Amino acid sequence: MIRIRGRVRGHGLLSAVFFVVGTGVILHVGRTLMRELRQLRRVAAAAQNALLRPLPSRIEGLDVAAAQLSAERGAAIGGDLYEVLATERGVRAVMGDVRGHGIGAFGTVAAVLGCFREAAYDEEDLGGVLRRLERALDRHLRREHPASVAEEFVTLLLVEIRADGEVAALNCGHPWPYRLSGTRVEQLTPADPYPPLGVFPLPDVLSTVGLGHLPPGDALFLYTDGVQDARDSRGRFFSLSTALTSAAREGPLAPQAVLRRVRRAVVDHTSGAPADDIALLVLRNGACMPPGARGTARTTTTDPQPTTRL
């Protein structure tokens, strides 16, 4: 009996030791994984800010705000892209959507944005900018995705807001923007877009499309199709026009306020889980300068606003 009890006590002690050691190992591994996860998130956030860098809240008389959301859970990087630059020919903006989403689209986003940030300053017209983007995308896809180059594409909307408020655009398979004027919301559909970049070669002649005049106080709302394709749990599509109308009726068309209201509506509709990447961009004519003072290709010194994540 004494030997049996001794063995029982020995086995119990050994089990307790294994339990304590195992628990310590599990806690150590858990803490290590959490540190690595936090580090990965910091790296992703740094890459996000370097690629989709925060936009100034004001560029050449335009009030600006942008927001983005990656459909890949936990990812800070998506397949959508945008940029706004002040050039000698006016303020030029790009909004684009790479096929696919999340980290897999990161390289294509970088190639397109890097090219736009040079071509927007160098080219006389939007047609020249678009051709540069087409060549940059082709080089990137043939280098990075030679086996599936025919399956990759990017939708793009190029917009140029000139010093007199006239707006011109080139569209490659992308949704046309909305115009916000007081409580009036109108989607601009001036012409059929060209095919997305990467699907077919651009035509020999590129004709910019006029989007009219952007008077003081009015705004353009640019977006990717992830927002209008967002569905709720019953499969119903999100109504962007309804959300914009509601946002306009809530108060002044300050870009950040519009984004907050639309963002809240999208998150509520999808229960915080949209199926595709989403990017939003608002450009509002602030009209704080004489019309002739906006053609100097100088960005005002207002502090950049962090990119809002939906």
The answer, yes or no, to whether residue 129 has pLDDT greater than 80, is yes
Mean pLDDT taken over the chain: 81
Give the mean model confidence (pLDDT) for residues 262-276: 86
Most confident of 26-30, 125-129, 227-231, 288-292: 125-129
Q: Kind of pairing, strands 209-213 and 166-172? A: antiparallel
Which alpha helices (H) appear in the chain, and where do they start and end? 2-51, 106-122, 126-144, 225-228, 240-250, 255-270
Tokens of 235: 């499969």
Instruction: Please give the pLDDT value at position 280.
Output: 95
Contact 142, 198 (CB under 8 A): no
Instruction: Please give the pLDDT value at position 271.
Output: 85
pLDDT-derived band at 152 (thresholds 50, 70, 90) equals confident
The answer, yes or no, to whether residue 40 has pLDDT greater than 70, is no
d(CA 19, CA 3): 24
Contact 240, 229 (CB under 8 A): no
Between 16 and 286, name the one with better pLDDT: 286
Instruction: Please give the pLDDT value at position 34.
Output: 63
Domain ranges in the chain? Answer: 1-51, 54-309
| CATH of segment(s) 54-309 | 3.60.40.10
Collect all residues with Cβ–Cβ distance below 8 Å to 94 and sequence separation of at least 6.
81, 82, 83, 112, 113, 116, 120, 156, 157, 158, 159
d(CA 94, CA 126): 11
Please work out, in degrees rounded to the nearest 5, the angle formed at the alpha carbon of residue 239 by the alpha carbons of 238 and 244.
Answer: 125
CA distance from start to end of the chain: 69
Give the mean model confidence (pLDDT) for residues 127-140: 95
